[in-house]
Amino acid sequence: MPSELLRKTLNYDALIGYSLLALFAIYNFRNTARNSSDLLANLVLIVGLVSLISYHYFVATKQWDEKNNKQQRKTRLLAHASISLFFLMTLLHTSGTFQYYDWFGLSAHIVLFFTVLANVSQQLGAGLLAIYFPLATIRKAKVTMVSPAESIQFLGRLLMSIYFISKLLLL
């Protein structure tokens, strides 16, 4: 079992990582406003990311999680349902481009939704995200040099890679 300091540090890592991803999604409004399905997908993603930011803030600062606070469970269910919907929208080509590694993200959030709902181990979902985020980070590294704004998303994905790989190694 990880120490309290390590648990808090990892939750702050996730808090910052998800915040950077949300910041990039908000920045991306300019690009998504031209297409209503892209805009809807971006809004759905932001709802999911803000929910995860809220969850990790309370876990890091107040030690509340879905085991001892029912609202936190609802927050995670909303987050995973929203992000699953975002991935489905990109998969169905209503918005964005679905990359091969997005299958790991979609599978992870669906698994996490149902494991939080059933109150069982979430190791499989965390493992899928430990695959998704490094692959997405590598992909983002290829385009980060093109746009400084892309580096926000790159850094967010990098922090989330560290978070999920660390979680798996420490469980």
Give 47's pLDDT tier (boundaries 50, 70, 90).
very high
Tally the domains of the chain: 1
Asked whether the predicted pLDDT for residue 126 surpasses 60, the reply is yes
Asked whether the predicted pLDDT for residue 1 surpasses 70, the reply is no
- pTM for the model: 0.91
- Please tell me the predicted confidence (pLDDT) of residue 38: 85
Burial label, 25 (beta-carbon count in 10 A; 0-12, 13-18, 19+)? buried
Residue range 54-111, pLDDT digits in tens: 999 988 888 766 677 788 889 999 999 999 999 999 888 766 678 889 999 999 999 9
Confirm if 119 and 113 have CB atoms less than 8 A apart. Answer: no
Confirm if 107 and 87 have CB atoms less than 8 A apart. Answer: no
Q: Residues of the chain with pLDDT > 70: what percent?
A: 91
Instruction: Please list, in sequence order, all residues whose beta carbon lies within 8 angstroms of the beta carbon of residue 100, skipping any fewer than 6 positions away.
Output: none
Full residue range of the structural domain in which residue 76 is found: 4-170
Closest CA to 82 of 129, 44, 50, 42: 44
Measuring CA to CA, how many Å separate 52 from each of 62, 77, 123, 142? 15, 10, 17, 27
- Please tell me the predicted confidence (pLDDT) of residue 146: 66
Give the tokens for residue 8. 């808090």
Asked whether the predicted pLDDT for residue 147 surpasses 80, the reply is no
Confirm if 39 and 32 have CB atoms less than 8 A apart. Answer: yes
